[in-house]
């Protein structure tokens, strides 16, 4: 029977993968599933041909350690600046409430500005909503206008290993973030003719379903550079993660003095 070997191998692989994930701690399963999701490993195969496609050696090491579930640096203090024990969660800095601003906000803004740059290269008119600290936004990050459509995009980075995340379903964190953003901005999106999309990515690399829709739009509008544009988003996420981890390590070392 043609294709029988492929069918049998696929079923065996799925069984082995399921058994492996069930034997791991929830945190490990969440990390592995996120890294295995759509675009989760894109950053690993990028040729550093431009600044947007380049990770420094330090940032690459950080990205690799995050993916492997290892501490970002050697000889870290026992506790984070917030008081949480770092040995229990090597990726704690990615969910630490003390690092939400400015470290996580910086990561968010890098991705927002990169998306704005990409859509401008595609010929769209792009408005970036300014950030005002201690003020709840009523409009999404990006208002993108093409001759044939208007898209409202809000960027969010979800961490599957956050203490509140109990699901082992792939992209559960991104899906929950998409739903939250949709509820928050839905009333505002109805004021115009725009289509609202949440660009949710997970810290371990996976892109949410709505983010994947936006990627498909970029591919449909770009005639030659779409793949590098997608790779640059994956690189920006890892740069942002490295920035958050480094700021967390600095803060924890200072607190331990």
pLDDT at 81: 92
Report the C-alpha gap between 240 and 246 in whole angstroms.
10
CB 90 within 8 A of CB 70: yes
Report the C-alpha gap between 121 and 123 in whole angstroms.
5
pLDDT at 56: 96
Report the C-alpha gap between 241 and 163 in whole angstroms.
18
Q: What are phi and psi of 42, to 5 degrees?
A: -60, -40
Is the pTM for the entire model greater than 0.85?
yes
| Residue (of 145, 157, 127) closest to 236 by Cα position | 157
pLDDT at 35: 94
pLDDT at 95: 95
Q: Which two tokens stand for residue 251?
A: 């803060």
At 190 the three-state DSSP class reads: coil
Strands (E), 73-160: 125-128, 142-145, 150-158
Chain-centroid distance, C-alpha 233: 9
At 210 the three-state DSSP class reads: helix
Higher pLDDT, 190 or 56: 56
As to burial, measured by CB atoms within 10 angstroms (0-12 exposed, 13-18 middle, 19+ buried), residue 54 is middle
CB 128 within 8 A of CB 142: yes
Any idea what DSSP says for residue 83? S
CB 168 within 8 A of CB 29: yes
Q: Given a cut of 80, is residue 193 above it in pLDDT?
A: no
- 133-159, pLDDT tens digit by residue? 766 777 899 999 999 889 999 999 999
- 13-62, pLDDT tens digit by residue? 888 888 888 878 899 999 999 999 999 999 999 999 999 999 999 999 99
Question: Residue ranges of the alpha helices (H) in 76-144?
Answer: 105-121
């Amino acid at each position: 029977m043609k294709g029988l070997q492929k069918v049998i191998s696929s079923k065996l692989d799925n069984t082995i993968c399921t058994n492996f994930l069930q034997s791991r701690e929830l945190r490990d399963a969440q990390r592995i599933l996120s890294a295995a999701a759509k675009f989760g490993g894109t950053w690993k195969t990028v040729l550093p041909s431009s600044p947007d496609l380049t990770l420094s050696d330090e940032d690459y090491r950080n990205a690799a350690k995050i993916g492997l579930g290892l501490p970002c640096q050697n000889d870290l203090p026992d506790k984070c600046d917030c008081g949480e024990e770092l040995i229990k969660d090597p990726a704690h800095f990615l969910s630490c409430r003390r690092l939400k601003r400015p470290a996580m906000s910086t990561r968010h803004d890098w991705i927002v500005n990169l998306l704005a740059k990409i859509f401008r290269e595609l010929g769209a008119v792009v408005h970036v909503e300014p950030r005002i600290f201690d003020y709840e936004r009523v409009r999404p990050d990006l208002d993108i206008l093409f001759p044939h459509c208007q898209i409202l995009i809000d960027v969010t980075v979800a961490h599957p290993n956050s203490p509140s995340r109990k699901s082992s379903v792939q992209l559960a964190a991104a899906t929950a973030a998409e739903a939250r953003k949709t509820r928050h901005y839905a009333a505002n999106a109805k004021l115009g003719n725009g289509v609202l999309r949440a660009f949710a990515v997970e810290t371990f690399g996976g892109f949410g379903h709505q983010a994947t829709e936006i990627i498909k739009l970029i591919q449909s509008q770009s005639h030659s550079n779409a793949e590098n544009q997608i790779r640059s988003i994956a690189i920006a996420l890892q740069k942002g993660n490295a920035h958050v981890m480094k700021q967390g390590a600095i803060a924890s070392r200072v607190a331990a003095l």
